[in-house]
Structure 1
Amino acid sequence: MAGEVLVRRLFAEHGAALLAYATRLSGDRAVAAEIVRETLLRAWSSNSALSEDRGAVRAHLFSALREVANAPADPLEMLAAVGTLPPEQREVLNQLYFQGRDVKEAAASLGLPAETVKSRSSEALRRLREAVAPAAEPTGVS
């Protein structure tokens, strides 16, 4: 319960700034929300710098967020994971990340509503994160 209160307090105080920064880094708000979630969970787990003043806590959180956002994935593992995605999700990722199109442009190119492009992208990225997550890394808090 205390951990939940701490995470809620951290999110209330720093969540908007963390989400804005993560969105700039990732270019995708759904991915950014996952990055912020992981950042807050790591902060809660380490709990080391969280008793310091508000500015130090924010600096610690931004540092942790950069680590989460920049965690490299093995390219071959990522390629294999992309190959397991359904074709419609692969095509959306291709449009957004390899063709450099925004959601509206990808939607027009694919003949889909923008919301469909967003949901397919979000689901594909979630599946890729799960596929390349190290087996030893915990996926949740018990």
Structure 2
Amino acid sequence: MSNVIAINAAAKKSIAAARATSDEMLLQDIAKGGRTAMHVLYSRHNVRVYRFVLRMVRDTTMAEDLVSQVFLDVWRTAAQFEGRSQVSTWLLSIARFKALTALRQRKHEDIEQEDVLEIADEADTPEASLDRSNTSAILRACVAKLSPAHREIINLVYYHEKSVEEAGAIIGIPQSTVKTRMFYARKQLAELLKGAGVDSIAA
């Protein structure tokens, strides 16, 4: 019995130590096969990755599957992380690639992704948006109506609090392009919000 207590105490101590460790250190441990480090990294970032992917694919089952794929990739390729960006930025880069691949594979279906977006847009009129319970729901509806490129920028910068530099690294575009897309995305979003009866919104 005392041995079991000692093992449990050691395990708790190991988990506590991992939780106090930086993401970069966790990846180093994962590269050596550290399961505790993998568990901690997953618990630290899985919700963020899930929300990011869900906004791209708009399918909860697919998003959950993609999150599993992302962290499986992390387990396999942790040693390849070179530290040029934050670990969270690296994770979202992997997630974005997986989501785009999944969307391309889905295009063989009878109806393409862009058609689905257009149908959703038609159903979601400004009047319907006004009936929503709060401003954040209206904001989400308006963000959904942006072009994929503009929606991605808003998603990264506002929802995931990424800098212009980090957003560029995730998408694979220059910072100047991020700024341009950001300008037009905000302009279009303001027009959509105005159309939905919201003249201004807190950042």
TM-score bracket relative to the smaller structure: 0.3 to 0.5
| TM-score, normalised relative to structure 1 | 0.41
| TM-score, normalised relative to structure 2 | 0.29
